Amino acid sequence: MNMLKMLFALFVVAITSSHHGVHGLSPMMVQQRMPSRLFEREQGQLPTQAKHKQCYNLPIKRRSFVALMTTTLSSISLAPKSSSAIPFFESNHRQLELCLVTILRTQFWAFNTAKSLQSKLLSTSPSEDALAENVRKLPYLEARLGAKALLTQKIGGGATNTVLKLASFNIKECLEDGMYWCNQLSKSNQLLDKRICTNDLMTISDDIVESLASIVEFDGLETTIDPSPRSSLMLSMYNPQKGTFVYRTLTERVIPNCERYLEIFGEEKRILCLEFIRRDYSDEIPFEILMDLYGED
């Protein structure tokens, strides 16, 4: 931004000078700043033909300057943009706390979705009414579309507002940036075990991605590459075994691995992230965690 301001200022000076010449300066100041022949032309001491010959150079220089400015501004405007998340000054990586907030919000989504699967789908009998049956299967549909949105930012048919929100998480990039900050903390001796980044954290990150991908692809109806099929196809092909698989993947892989990921960076950062979510995304916090936070009150 500062470079753009500086270039724009130079551009204005050049254009102004080309239009106004050296008017507004005293003859002594002009003579000090201009070649003698150009000064004589301005004072009317050169013939008209000489004046025109001297003036030919100015538009050419101005056009050259404009061309240079256009090229420079174009190169700046086409330069790669940095990450949309807030970076540190000397890095293109997301701030560690923002990465951890994303992991915690993903864990809360998995918790709430698993609870809805259990209460609305796995613990109830199928309905003879087609509309009521589709409503009963909505947590299953959200789990699959949400997992895909987390990994690919692709939105399938039948996506809820929650799925649209998950698409903005960019969880894979957050996991990678978390690995970067883990290595930085390790180099500065802020982690007890320096091998925890290359061993534990990498394994946990891979398992989070793989478990979400398995929710998307386990029955062959979906992939993380192709656009999502119609939600009606996924609902019509549902059976209780599929619902159980999604539920167990959320509760036995996604939720505990998110917890393990957060534990590596310490309880203090987890509490900080929880407070941030409580303030800005309180509707995402599971009821059970809210009870733990405010149960004594």
Cβ(97)–Cβ(269) under 8 Å?
Answer: yes
Looking at residue 114, what is its pLDDT? 97
Looking at residue 156, what is its pLDDT? 74
Q: Are residues 51 and 121 in the same domain?
A: no
Instruction: Give the range with max mean pLDDT: 18-32, 118-132, 222-236, 264-278.
Output: 264-278
DSSP helix/strand/coil, 284: helix
Is residue 82 one of the residues assigned to a domain?
A: no
pLDDT tens readout for residues 113-135 = 999 999 999 988 888 888 888 88
Looking at residue 2, what is its pLDDT? 52
Q: Are residues 62 and 106 in the same domain?
A: no
Cβ(149)–Cβ(159) under 8 Å?
Answer: yes
String of DSSP letters for 124-146: SPPPSSHHHHHHHTHHHHHHHHH
pLDDT at 24 over 50: no
The residue that leads in pLDDT, 112 or 19, is 112
Instruction: Tell me how many degrees the CA angle 136-217-214 measures, rounded to the nearest 5.
Output: 90
pLDDT at 46 over 80: no
Q: Are residues 100 and 69 in the same domain?
A: no
DSSP state of 200: I
Is residue 84 one of the residues assigned to a domain?
A: no
pLDDT tens readout for residues 151-201 = 999 987 778 899 999 999 999 999 999 999 999 998 888 876 778 898 899
Which residues, 6+ apart, have CB-to-CB distance to 113 below 8 Å?
139, 142, 143, 146, 250
Is residue 164 one of the residues assigned to a domain?
A: yes
Of 207, 209, 218, 224, the residue nearest 171 (C-alpha): 209
Q: Are residues 172 and 288 in the same domain?
A: yes
Of 126, 147, 125, the residue nearest 249 (C-alpha): 147
pLDDT at 219 over 70: yes
Q: How confident is the model at residue 1 (pLDDT cuts 50, 70, 90)?
A: low
Q: What is the mean pLDDT of residues 283-296?
A: 84
Count of domains observed in the chain: 2
The residue that leads in pLDDT, 244 or 192, is 244
pLDDT tens readout for residues 71-108 = 333 333 333 333 333 333 345 888 999 999 999 999 99
The residue that leads in pLDDT, 265 or 88, is 265
Q: Are residues 58 and 120 in the same domain?
A: no
Which of 77, 104, 120 is a domain's end point?
A: 77
Q: What is the mean pLDDT of residues 44-56?
A: 41
The residue that leads in pLDDT, 74 or 21, is 21
Q: Are residues 179 and 245 in the same domain?
A: yes
DSSP helix/strand/coil, 69: helix
CA distance 107 to 270: 12
Q: Are residues 124 and 59 in the same domain?
A: no
Mean pLDDT lowest among 34-38, 179-183, 194-198, 270-274: 34-38
Q: How confident is the model at residue 11 (pLDDT cuts 50, 70, 90)?
A: low
Mean pLDDT lowest among 28-42, 57-71, 192-206: 57-71
Is residue 86 one of the residues assigned to a domain?
A: no
pLDDT at 252 over 80: yes
Domain that holds residue 6: 2-77
Q: What average pLDDT does the chain have?
A: 76
